[in-house]
Chain A
Amino acid sequence: GESAPVEVTTAVEARFQLGAAPIRPGRVFYGHIERLGPPRRGRLTLRAGEVMFQPLEGEERRWPLDALTALQSSSGTLQIKPRREGVVSFRFPDSSVRLWEEVLRASIRRFYRSAGKGEVLEFQPRIVLR
């Protein structure tokens, strides 16, 4: 439904982007690839208007849904790109990346629709509204 706020949570392994490395075989510059940090175990929670990562150790991280600029699955992981931060990659040992991609997409769609900001046209390479 549109009105009832729900909270869903699952165990994850999160990896945060540390930086980017150039790919330059020979003289041609091919581009950059992201360097991800070590996996950190914790829980990913989606609730009204935000996504939260609570690691087993360390500080929790929260991202309002409108702070996410991209969302996509990549092999067995779900990647989110918070505004002015590096990409964060989640692996789901007890759940399905496909399921979480759909749940997050639906939440973001509902968030922008209920805020009167329009419909989501694309989720990657950036969330685009119309």
Chain B
Amino acid sequence: MLYSLCSTLARLLWRVFGDELKIRGLENLPRTGPFFLIANHQSIIDPILVQAHLPRVIYTMAKSTQFASPIMGWLMPRIKSFPVRRFEIDPQAVRFALRRIAEGEGVGIYIEGERSWDGRLQPLRLGTIRLLLKAGVPVIPCTIQGSYDVWPRWARAPRPAPVSITLGPPLRFPRLDDRRSREPAVPVAAETIMAVLRAQLEAAGQPAALKSLPPKRV
């Protein structure tokens, strides 16, 4: 109830104050059944835009500090966000995600683990890759391009800019329940996901703020 109300409100606010929003690949989102939605993270508005504009309910992993204030502590679970403590391995966050998957729901994870400082894709969190391999359900690669121009991590306030959200075809990894078989598959799955996210971001075009930056040194 509150989820759909907040989604409607977010869509309305974007229509009034936002810029163009393109959503590509909605047909790649499963209509029923469990899935992981794996996204890049350019801005605080990413989960709001994604949850507001996708037709399926997405349970989204969010850092635990976002639940700290009484208002957010009340609101966040009601808009299907669940906490993860990022400074230690958080088995409850993993259990929560796997339970939602077992119930046939969609779970969203921003796989870089934090917002990008400069809008560019960061290394992926290997713990999340392990979770994907443990679950063995379809993985929807989702890229959000342009939200860095709207509200970068270092800015105090947002400004209008075009944003595009792209959902790629589902990636399918085998379910690897035991650690021994899972560990060798982690780097391979990470490379696959990284390559897909990078390709989708490049296809969507670079955010305006990044065009003047030199290529990233790795």
Contacts and interface: CB of A to CB of B under 8 A. Distances in A.
A124 B113 contact: yes
B206 interface: no
Interface stretch (B8-16, B72-80, B135-143): B72-80
Contacts of B114: 72-74, 124
A124 B86 CA distance: 6
Nearest to B113: A124
Most chain B Cβ neighbours within 10 Å, of A30, A32, A74, A128: A30
Interface string A52-75: 000000000000000001101111
Interface in B89-105: 89-90, 92-93, 96
Given A73-B114, A125-B90, A30 B74 contact: no
Contact count band on B: 20 to 34
B67 A33 contact: yes
Nearest to A80: B87
B145 to A, nearest CB: 22
A128 B47 CA distance: 28
Interface in A20-63: 23, 25, 28-34, 36
Contact of A79 (B76, B77, B87): B87
Given A23-B73, A30-B82, A73-B114, A81 B87 contact: yes
Contacts of A75: 65
Contact of B86 (A28, A74, A98): A74
Contacts of A29: 92, 96
Interface in B44-97: 63-65, 67-68, 73-74, 76-78, 82-90, 92-93, 96
Interface in A108-124: 121-122, 124
Interface residues on A, range: 20 to 34
B121 interface: no
A34 B64 contact: yes
B24 interface: no
Given A69-B88, A70-B88, A31 B113 contact: no
Contact of A23 (B67, B117, B125, B127): B67
B170 to A, nearest CB: 27
A87 interface: yes
Contacts of A79: 86-87
Contact of B92 (A31, A87, A126): A31
A31 B82 contact: yes
B167 to A, nearest CB: 26
B96 A31 contact: yes
B92 A33 contact: no
B204 interface: no
A32 B85 contact: yes
B85 A33 contact: yes
B87 A31 contact: no
Interface of B: 63-65, 67-68, 73-74, 76-78, 82-90, 92-93, 96, 113-114, 117, 123, 125-127, 154
Interface of A: 23, 25, 28-34, 36, 69-70, 72-75, 79-81, 87, 98, 121-122, 124-126, 128
List the 3 shortest-distance A-B pairs measured between CB atoms, nearest first. A33-B64, A31-B92, A81-B87
